[in-house]
Structure 1
Amino acid sequence: MQDFVVVGGGVMGCLSALNLLEAGCRVTLLERGECGREASWAGGGIVSPLYPWRYEEPVRALANWSQGFYPTLAAQLLAATGIDAEVAPCGLLWLDHAERAQALAWAQTHQQPLSEVSSPFIYQRVPQLASGYQSALWQADLANLRNPRLLQALRARLLQFAEFQLHERSPALALLCDGQQVTGVRTATAEHRADAVVVATGAWTGDWLAQAGVTVPVVPVKGQMLLYKREPGWLKSVVLHEGRYAIPRKDGHILIGSTLEHAQYDKRTTEEALQSLRHSAETLLPDLAAMAPVAQWAGLRPGSPEGIPYIGPVPGLDGLWLNAGHYRNGLVLAPASCRLLADLVLQREPALNPQPYLPAGRL
């Protein structure tokens, strides 16, 4: 039985651990805080890149695989834990979008059910929208999920395995090495030995691996969001305009997002972002002007070049593996990314072509 240490308890770390456990491995997961409380918790949960036609093929391939697998994953987690991640196919409207021709051409090439709709359809679907929208791109099958609940379900499922150990509030301080062979991870209180180490530390990946002499161009990119509360069913679909979106939850909560800020590791919310996001919310959905947001928060995305993650072995350090750098699409790409990582680590036939994601040649 192989032993693994996974560093990072976000969606990448938890789902990587689950894939390894299901393959019969032993896994120790180290999380500096609480599982699922960083970017995986803070995101919106749209199961699609915001503008999928803008991304290169490697991102599209991961997104397409993950979109197909999410309903199965949610059903499996619900059956095992009783926690519903609420994967809901609510559809998405891109309102009055300037890249209409590019998007429709992309959809035709990749056989995606994206179509152009006119004003009557838009207001029949979302009557609460501000007036004046003339056309939209519409994809009916796009889903959103309740990301905090997904992470709760993943954590609960992991703890059901006898071969799993979870160490929260246990920052990983350094890799343990025997020459060029990585043999585990050191924390303040213990040395955790393993056959291999998986680094899934999100926005902290670049700085964390720098101490091992590995340069990974992953940097924190801050995003702030607002939350409103309406009655269930008030907003039926995700709406997106000029980079800002409104996402409905089943219980009537509505997420408004998000900002894009380079502020290092500063997760403080700001008045400037509050006003900007409120303006976007009220511009899209004027009825929200009479309401105060019920919450504002910030998270740190793991920014990377072109948003293409690093998945695979780190050259020069045997036994060290990466699953990081998903930028704005961590939740979107997680099922495929973690399946691919497990396939590579366990030397199985990979579910996707691994070449675009391998750290070798990119670091």
Structure 2
Amino acid sequence: MALSPPQHVIIVGAGALGMLTALELHRRGLRVSLVEKGRAGRESSWAGGGILSPILPWNYPEPIWRLSRRSLDLYQALGIELAGRTGVDPELSASGAISLDPQPRAQAFAWCERERLEARPWRGPLYIGGPEQSGVALPWIGHVRNPRLCRALRSHLLQLGVELLEHCAVTGWYMKAGRVVGVRTADGERRADAVVLAAGAWSAQLEASLPVAPVRGQMLLLACEPGRLASIVFRDGRYLIPRRDGRILVGSTVEHGGFDTAVSAQAREELLGFAVEVLGREVAGKVEHHWAGLRPGTRDELPYIGEHPDLPGLFLNTGHYRNGLIMGPASAELLADLMLGRPTRIDAAPYRAERARRRA
């Protein structure tokens, strides 16, 4: 840990996590520079679904839920701030979710009761004229429109005077007296007091000691009429997400295959088959777009948040796998507290990078 809190921080990676971290550090009075190899918010952050909860959160490790729960408390104010300051509405939607999973539902009700969140039995058609189905209604789960969130964050950071260097690839760390105090790029060195690595699936390319690997997820976009689907739907690990304009996102695959973002006919068939089973044959011809993104996976599916154990001055906010957006605001808050030596709202121990060293 630095002897004194940093005044100038370079963040490597301008996805949602990097931009949320930049916003939080700027709010704390720090000077922030964002360095991005491409364009801000155009990788995993753009490609995901934007559900503001882990899928069936009672099945996830407690540390994932703790960050998610705190982020739920932060998102409403964040959405209002971004829309008001930039004119770009991230489209936070309190749509609720319905789980059609046949697993024992007592677990869902017990977990929600413990967390003081609403859950109730649900029965009915998902769309007008559809068959009656049954499941668990989770009205507190909503979603955000990822590309709009990233556009709003980018615009707001520029308004605030945060330095954003796009199309600037980092090639290594700048060290001084055994500490990371900057980055090396093709355009030369850039120095600061500390560096945050928030490069998602590409983090291990910059710091090989981190076991963060890309996990491909393919998705479909269906061009449906408004009102076709009102709530998020979960079933068998897949999901449907309704947008305000009637479009429906269908996700997603989980594939371990390096940095390949090609899409496949098999994945299209599987995802569309799921959508047809839930929404009816009418949606079979509605595919508007098919794409893939890369999630930053870790061995235990927990992110790394905090200072690198062997590289003082290098802080981590990466490895959030499928839950980067829902854990993002709280992850940024936690990292800022750690960097500034302040008490944390959430126990930081489960996210420490020492986990990578122990399991190497």
Name the TM-score class by shorter chain. over 0.9
Change (3 A) 1:288 1:341: farther
Deviation at 1:19, TM superposition (A): 0.8
Matched, 1:304 2:298: yes
2:173 is the counterpart of 1:175: yes
Q: Which stretches in structure 2 are left out of the alignment for 5+ residues?
A: 1-5
Q: CA deviation at 1:76?
A: 0.7
| C-alpha distance in structure 2 between counterparts of 1:82 and 1:161, whole Å | 15
Structure-1-length-normalised TM-score: 0.93
- Is residue 224 of structure 1 aligned with residue 218 of structure 2? yes
Aligned to 2:138: 139
Shift of 1:192: 0.8
Are the counterparts in 1 of residues 307 and 315 from structure 2 also a CA contact under 8 Å? yes
| Structure 1 CA distance for aligned equivalents of residues 246 and 113 of structure 2 | 34
Per-residue CA deviation, residues 78-106 of structure 1 (Å, 9 max, x unaligned), is: 11111100111001000142141222222
Following the alignment from structure 2 to structure 1, what is the Cα–Cα distance between the partners of residues 100 and 35?
A: 42
Distance 1:288 1:51 in 2: 28
- Aligned-partner Cα distance in 2 for 1:274–1:160: 40
Aligned equivalent of 1:196: 194
Q: What amino acid is aligned across from residue 161 of structure 1 in structure 2?
A: L
1:110 shift after superposition: 2.1
The corresponding residue for 2:163 is 165
Aligned residues: 352
The separation in 2 between residues aligned to 1:147 and 1:10, in whole angstroms, is 10
Counterpart amino acid of residue 153 in structure 1:
A
Which residue of structure 2 lines up, in the alignment, with residue 63 of structure 1?
Answer: 68
User: Does the 8 A contact of 2:127 with 2:279 survive in 1?
Assistant: no
TM-score between both structures, scaled by the size of structure 2: 0.94
Q: Read off the aligned partner of 1:5 and give its amino acid letter.
A: I
Give the corresponding residue for 1:127. 127
Q: 1:173 aligns to what SS in structure 2? A: strand
**More deviation in 91-100 or 72-81?**
91-100
For 1:301 and 1:287, locate their aligned partners in 2 and report how far apart those are by CA, in whole Å: 31
1:315-362 Cα deviation digits (max 9, x unpaired): 121110000111110011001001111111122222322122122354
Deviations along 1:181-228, one digit per CA (max 9) or x if unpaired, are 111001101211010000001011123201xxxx21211000000001
Question: What is the deviation of 1:128?
Answer: 4.7
For 1:328, the equivalent position in structure 2 comes to: 322
Which residue of 2 is the match for residue 43 of structure 1? Answer: 48
Q: Secondary structure at the match of 1:88?
A: coil
Matching residue of 1:52? 57
Pick closer, same or farther for the CA change 1:59–1:315 going to 2, 3 Å.
same
> In 2, distance between residues paired with 1:200 and 1:94?
32
Structure 1 residues 276-325: Cα deviation after superposition (integer angstroms, max 9, x where no partner): 11111111111444523110110000111332111000012111000011
Correspondence 1:270-281 to 2 at 5 A: 270-281=264-275
Q: Distance in 2 between matches of 1:265 and 1:290?
A: 29
Cα deviation for residue 252 of structure 1 reads: 1.0
Distance between the aligned counterparts of 1:282 and 1:303, measured in 2?
29
Deviation at 1:25, TM superposition (A): 1.2
Q: Distance in 2 between matches of 1:237 and 1:54?
A: 21
Q: Which residue of 2 aligns with 1:254?
A: 248
Partner of 1:265: 259
Does the 8 Å contact 1:107/1:114 carry over to 2?
Answer: yes
- Superimposed CA distance per residue, residues 41-60 of structure 1 (whole angstroms, 9 cap, x where no aligned partner): 11101100012011111111
Q: Distance in 1 between matches of 2:128 and 2:99?
A: 15
Deviation at 1:272, TM superposition (A): 1.2
Work out which of the residue numbers 202, 206, 225 in structure 1 matches 2:204. 206
- Between the aligned partners of 1:94 and 1:106, the Cα distance in structure 2 is 14
Aligned to 2:35: 30
- Tell me the residue number matched to 2:332: 338
What displacement does 1:235 show? 1.2
- Deviations 1:32-71 (Å, cap 9, x if unpaired)? 1111111111110110001201111111110101111111
Segment drifting more, 19-28 vs 147-156: 19-28
SS of equivalent residue, structure 1 residue 144 = coil
Q: Which amino acid aligns with 2:270?
A: S
Which residue in 1 is equivalent to 2:3? Answer: none
Amino acid of the residue matched to residue 271 of structure 1? A
- Kindly report which structure 2 residues correspond to 1:226-245, keeping only aligned pairs within 5 A, or say none: 226-245=220-239
Query: How many Å separate the matches in 2 of 1:243 and 1:291?
Result: 23
Q: Secondary structure at the match of 1:143?
A: coil
| 1:152 aligned residue | 151
CA RMSD of aligned residues (A): 1.5
SS in 2 for 1:72: helix
- The answer for unaligned runs of 5 or more in structure 1 is none
